Structure 1
Amino acid sequence: MSEYYWDSKIEYLRNTRWLYYNDDYLEFLVKNVWKMNTPINMVDYGCGYGYLGLKLLPLLPDGSTYTGIDKGEDLIKEAREIFDKLPYSVELMQGDIEEIQVHPQYDIALCHAFLLHMKNPRAILQKMIDSVRDGGRVCFEPHWIANAANFGFDDGLLHSEVVRLGVLQKLYEVDASRSGKDGNIGIKLPILLSQLGLRNVECRVSDKVNFLDRHMDAASKERLYPSLREEGIGQEPDEPSMTMEQLVERGLTAEEAQAQYAAELKLFQEFDSDSWLTYAPNMKISFGTVSRE
């Protein structure tokens, strides 16, 4: 069995990626914003099972290619099984972007919810730039505090009772300063891209909003509710003393940790398939132009 963490999370990835984007918005980006009218050769770093390829290839001009690179053996195997059944030009490689050598051979370098897991995302971005011919790049990355701010519950559950934004900001910022892994990197990517020399940098926000409606049809609810749970919304917290100890180790005071645990427990206890919930992931999509002239 693979020891790589994300090899064990294929079902999680499969069950949650769809929460982030509307297909018509991705089509709008490709055709109206990026104006991709000629075949594109794209590379996807940390590709997982090839989610971005599956979404973008049908929207791109015929002749476009997709190269996916991931550290996970099982993820690449899963991707190959999927793409072998599809009529696209695809190359899938197992590799670690921190170690592989790159050359400017692609038109677009992509990543999705990948940089937030990197200890040195700036260096990874530079590698992405180095793999692109003069042109551009697209990064789909989360901004956790915006994500946490964009929940709506029915009147029986107040947002401030279950999502403590100030405490979460502190946790994210301490985690980033300690490990280099920044869950809020999505909102910082335009700055980083500009600092690394890209021009005409822009950032878009996914328009996807998920609505769990008590009155929705059973099939839609049976798909949405488990995916929201798997995304972490209302998950059961671990044993209290262990959870609070971990929170203190991450930078909270004992009082903050106790209150945070109580908030997580309350959401777990009150959120169920008959709840009303609106949730906007607010994925940030940043891109710019590489120019070596």
Structure 2
Amino acid sequence: MQNNKTSWGKVAPWYNKLVGSTGHYYHEKVIFPNLKKIYQPKNNDKVVDVGCGQGVYGRLLPSGVEYTGIDLSKELIGEAKKLDRTKSHSYFVADVTRAIPVASYSYDLAISILALQNMKDAAAAIKEMARAVKVGGKIILVLNHPAFRIPRQSSWGIDEKNKLEYRRINRYLSPLEIPINA
């Protein structure tokens, strides 16, 4: 039995409140409008969401789409199941950097939204996504640029003399493990 301990479990209530039912500001104003430009789901499409969190993307899809959300945090998957009662949607707790419980070459889309940067082995997760997608299917990765979200290693500053606001980055592109705290 694999150990599914993750720091996201401890912050699931906070994260669920932050994301809400339709996503936080970044989801609503940046991510989802741009996703609609590159992928328009059709009835009977199959979508697997790697690192789905509390399933916000699944709740935006039409009910005719077969959606599978996978995340390491049992607490976030629990929230996803409570929030999404769509019969064609399912959620599983699994480590997406290992063999995920989905059939090979069976999905029209494999997507990961703001999750890969929290995984130790993102390459393994991407390999699993590639295994899950049909020939001619799509893989969509949504990432923060590393300069804009390094917990406790980035901050905003103001240069009063030159009237400039700037982003200070420590440890840019340096290996670093930081647990998620709220």
| TM-score (normalizing by structure 2) | 0.72
Q: Deviations over 1:150-195 (max 9, x none)?
A: 96979698534xx424xx2xx132226xx7x9xxxxxxxxxxxxxx
Map 1:74-153 onto structure 2 (within 5 A): 74-84=75-85, 87-101=86-100, 102=102, 103-134=104-135, 135-146=137-148
2:12 counterpart residue number: 10
Q: Deviations over 1:112-162 (max 9, x none)?
A: 2221122222222111111111210111111131468996979698534xx
Report how many residues are paired: 165
More helix by share: 1
* 2:35 corresponds to which of 29, 33, 37: 29
Letter in 1 for 2:88: S
**Cα 1:144–1:49 shift into 2, 3 Å:** same
Query: Post-superposition shift, 1:24?
Result: 8.3
* 1:164 corresponds to which of 162, 168, 177: 168
Query: Post-superposition shift, 1:39?
Result: 3.5
Identity %: 24
Supply the distance in 2 between the matched residues of 1:25 and 1:122 (Cα, whole angstroms).
Answer: 22
2:55 counterpart residue number: 50
> SS state of the match for residue 99, structure 1?
coil
| TM-score (normalizing by structure 1) | 0.47
More strand by share: 2
Letter in 2 for 1:89: S
Which sections of structure 2, spanning at least 5 residues, go unmatched?
Answer: none
Query: Post-superposition shift, 1:88?
Result: 4.9
| The structure with more radius of gyration | 1
Q: Deviations over 1:44-84 (max 9, x none)?
A: 111111122123x1xx4x51121111122222111111113
Map 1:54-73 onto structure 2 (within 5 A): 54-55=59-60, 57=61, 60=62, 62-73=63-74
Which sections of structure 1, spanning at least 5 residues, go unmatched?
Answer: 182-229, 231-293
**Cα 1:164–1:150 shift into 2, 3 Å:** closer
Match status 1:173 vs 2:182: no
Supply the distance in 1 between the matched residues of 2:93 and 2:107 (Cα, whole angstroms).
Answer: 18
Match status 1:19 vs 2:59: no
Cα RMSD for the two superposed structures: 3.4
Supply the distance in 1 between the matched residues of 2:129 and 2:53 (Cα, whole angstroms).
Answer: 17
> SS state of the match for residue 173, structure 2?
helix
